[in-house]
Amino acid sequence: MTTPTREIHLASRPTGQPTLENFRTVETELADPAPGQVLVRNTFLSVDPYMRGRMNDVKSYVPPFQVGAVLDGGAVGEVIASGEESLPVGTTVLHQAGWREHALISAKAARPVDVARVPASAYLGVLGMPGLTAYVGLQRIAAMKEGDAVLVSGAAGAVGSLAGQMARLMGASTVVGSAGSAEKVAWLTDELGFDAAVNYKDGAIGKLLAGHGPFDVYFDNVGGDHLEAAISHLADFGRVAACGAIASYNDERPSPGPRNLMMLVSKRLTLRGFIVSDHADLAAEFHQRVGAWVADGQLVFRETVVDGLDQTPQAFLDLLAGGNTGKMVVRLP
């Protein structure tokens, strides 16, 4: 027996801003699982900013997508056929074979998740890679302390919205975020408990932050002008957790660096980049601590949900353009 299914392939590598022409939907068939394998019907797919870098044929911390091959990413789904006793039919699992309707994977590559208390999609966001990224960035990379003033860029995204809330729950004296619309700014302050937020489209980000600092910690998801502004508004001995630089992901040539790097010296600042997969040892602590915050309603999350495999490329393009609030996911029937 085989299972007919569809998947999204990389049709070509983009130059600058990706377009729908860079993707192709392909029909295929999957065999029944062999011993040690499971066949999963995906129910939610993740689209994440880091995937843009994988579309380029360059060496990085994760291998690039291959032209003519299926893309991949985080996904949750239901086991519909199993060659592994520990993952029977009906089990909900988290895995990395997304961007497809069905996945035939090794049982070792699938982690069962509990969907009794939270929706399955939460394991792609608040209880998944974005949540762990926020936690690692604050706890280990920025070494946040109670009483610190914290600035978060891209604060209405999957990672930023969680980092700001976690900072508040960890005892920050002030949490300020930047976002790209008045609606997102209102969400940050009215629902998520940020003390203040600015719409970076209203003017120069450095001027918009005037009066809100100085900050002890900057959680950077944007880079570019946001990083330059944050350096200017950091207190002496401030710490930067450099998580991403979405402002430059589509640049065709390197962007100029911050013009105020001498402040790293004069203010004795620490700027440290990180990749969340290097910090798997914090996962158990993260799930226990953050899971409790989610369970008792202290930490809330929002998802931007797009329906259908065919809409996955557009969801990804919208994500890069800031069209999401919270975690962007694709829901499959």
Q: Does position 154 have pLDDT exceeding 90, yes or no?
A: yes
Residue 32 — pLDDT band, cuts 50, 70, 90? very high
Tokens of 124: 């792609």
> Domains of the chain (ranges plus CATH)?
2-124+302-331 (3.90.180.10), 129-277 (3.40.50.720)
Residue 253 — pLDDT band, cuts 50, 70, 90? confident
| Dist CA 42 CA 78 (whole Å) | 6
Q: Does position 257 have pLDDT exceeding 90, yes or no?
A: no
Of 51-65, 130-144, 183-197, 294-308, give the lowest mean pLDDT range: 51-65
Tokens of 323: 């069209």
Task: Please give the single-letter amino acid code of residue 93.
Answer: V
Q: Does position 247 have pLDDT exceeding 90, yes or no?
A: no
Residue 59 — pLDDT band, cuts 50, 70, 90? confident
Dihedral, CA atoms, 264, 266, 268, 270, nearest 10 degrees?
-10
Q: Does position 291 have pLDDT exceeding 80, yes or no?
A: yes
- Predicted pLDDT of residue 144: 98
- Predicted pLDDT of residue 315: 98
Antiparallel, parallel or unpaired: β 111-112 and 92-95? antiparallel
Q: Does position 205 have pLDDT exceeding 90, yes or no?
A: yes
- CA nearest to 131, candidates 291, 325, 319, 272: 291
Residues 6+ apart with CB under 8 A from 273: 242, 243
pTM: 0.93
| Dist CA 19 CA 317 (whole Å) | 7
Tokens of 225: 């002008």
- Predicted pLDDT of residue 100: 98
Residue 144, class by beta-carbon neighbours within 10 Å (0-12 exposed, 13-18 middle, 19+ buried)? buried
- The beta strands (E) that lie in the chain are given as 2-10, 23-31, 37-46, 75-82, 92-95, 102-106, 111-112, 149-152, 174-179, 196-199, 215-220, 234-242, 270-273, 303-307, 327-331
Dihedral, CA atoms, 306, 187, 132, 137, nearest 10 degrees?
130
Question: Do 73 and 29 form a contact (C-beta atoms < 8 A)?
Answer: no
